[in-house]
Amino acid sequence: MNRVLADIAVTSMLDACLVAAQALVLNSLGIPFAAITAFSGIGAYAVALALGGSWIGLAFAALLTAVTLAGFSFLAPLLPQDRYLLLTLAVLGVLLATAGSAAGLGGQLGLKSASTLLPPQEPLPFAVAAVLLFSMSLLAHALIGRSEFGLAVSVARNSRLDITAKSFIPVKRITLVCFVIAASIAMLAGVLRATYSGRVDPNQLRIRTAIVILMPTLAAGSSPLRIGILSVVFFAFPDCFAVLFGYDATSLAYIREMAWSALIIAMVPGNVIARLRTRIKVQMAAQTRY
């Protein structure tokens, strides 16, 4: 039983790390970003290539990460929100097709990613590593929220409604920093997931996986406490309930997603009212200045 619960802790914490990473961009910056699994997938394939001795592949993964980060952060203020969201999902589609068809990446079967340092399927050491990474991701949210950089992030978010706010802070630089932090967390989560399972395959890059990560991200907001509780409960519920009461975990996952979708829909009126209040405050501030 302890081993099973430790296995659930590993998988739930690693998925929760992706929620925390994506919340930094989606909720804190207000950028409609839904492709955090792209960075976790790159991290997973990078460690598999490194363990296989392919340093050229590792260098290519680093280059791909840099290009993807630069592209996402540069295009964020230039594209409308709907097109930017489609762009993030399209990038996932391209990465999925590339990983599934490239012989050097193992095709649909993927690559072996077992490590001698942390043997795969040994949940206790990976549970400790996953908890540490998740704690670091929540700490990043807490530090950003209570620092001057957090204030700059808030101004960068408001600049999407008020273009005059861009003159006060370097929005592009702040956006890039947030993307770098989020991508670093996601890539470390991908590395741990790959070494824990002992194999990496294109399923990590599926759009459905990205949508499942997106659901708790939308509900969690930018509060570290809410991100921590909601994301862990979201991912641990089906497996824990199945272990304790004997129900099918897959069916419970569908029930969880339906209930969570209803919760997100219920949150829409409150979010609309909050955005309207923010817009009114911004317009009143602009009128006061002029």
161 inside domain = no
- What range does the domain containing 270 cover? 2-146+172-289
User: Is 129 within the bounds of a domain?
Assistant: yes
- Residues 86-110: what's their mean pLDDT? 89
The residue ranking higher by pLDDT, 270 or 258, is: 258
**Maximum mean pLDDT: which of 223-227, 264-268, 277-281:** 223-227
pLDDT for residue 258: 67
Using the predicted structure, report yes or no on whether residue 9 has a pLDDT greater than 70. yes
- Establish if 79 belongs to a structural domain: yes
Does residue 165 lie within any of the structural domains?
no
Which helix (H) or strand (E) segment holds residue 112: the answer is strand 111-112
d(CA 31, CA 171): 12
**Can you say whether the dihedral through the CA atoms of 197, 201, 204, 208 is positive or negative?**
negative
How far apart CA 188 and CA 117 sit, in angstroms, is 16
**Amino acid of residue 95:** L
Number of domains in the chain: 1
Please check whether residue 159 lies inside any domain of the structure. Answer: no
Q: What is the pTM (predicted TM-score) of this model?
A: 0.84
CA distance 5 to 78: 45
Q: Is residue 155 part of a domain?
A: no
166 belongs to a structural domain = no
Domain annotation covers residue 98: yes
Planar angle of CA 86, 92, 97, nearest 5 degrees: 125
279, pLDDT greater than 90: no
